[in-house]
Amino acid sequence: MGRYILNPEIFGILESLQPGKDGEIQLTDGLRELNKVH
């Protein structure tokens, strides 16, 4: 089991993402977007 320590900014990014085909929002997509900002 892995653990992440994330900047609280990730939550705003996750809220802005569109769900995938399965209707879920992927943490990896959020991390990718966070990397673009920083």
Write the pLDDT tens digit of every residue in 1-38.
789 899 999 999 999 999 999 999 999 999 999 999 88
Asked whether the beta carbons of 28 and 34 are under 8 A apart, the reply is no
Find the domain containing 30 and state its range: 1-17+25-38
Q: How many structural domains does the chain have? A: 1
Contacts of 25 (CB under 8 A, 6+ apart): 14, 17, 19
- Give the pLDDT confidence score for residue 25 in this predicted structure: 97
For residue 19, give the DSSP letter: P
Q: What is the pTM of this model?
A: 0.78
What is the four-CA torsion angle of 31, 16, 36, 9, rounded to 10 degrees?
-70
